[in-house]
Amino acid sequence: AKLVVQECDVALSPGVGFGPQGDDYVRFALIENTQRIAQAARQLKKGLVKLG
């Protein structure tokens, strides 16, 4: 989760906070307007491609 925040500048929550089975997951809260969500998606794509 920290790596995504650092590389993509997108906030998320580690899945472990949502129960013992959440270690391999993260949670995104899609509470922004559609423009901000689209911006976050672009940033995620760019950052995840960079990370390989």
User: What is the domain range of residue 25?
Assistant: 2-51
State how many domains the chain has: 1
Q: What is the pLDDT of residues 4-44, one digit of tens each?
A: 888 888 988 888 888 888 888 888 888 889 999 999 999 99
Q: According to the model, what pLDDT value does residue 39 have?
A: 95
CATH number reported for the structural domain that contains residue 35 in this entry: 3.90.1150.10
CB-based contacts of 10: which residues, under 8 Å, 6+ apart?
A: 4, 28, 40, 43, 44, 47
Q: Is 18 helix (H, G, I), strand (E, B) or coil?
A: helix
Q: According to the model, what pLDDT value does residue 35 have?
A: 96
pTM of the entire predicted model: 0.71
CB atoms inside a 10 Å sphere around CB 13 = 14
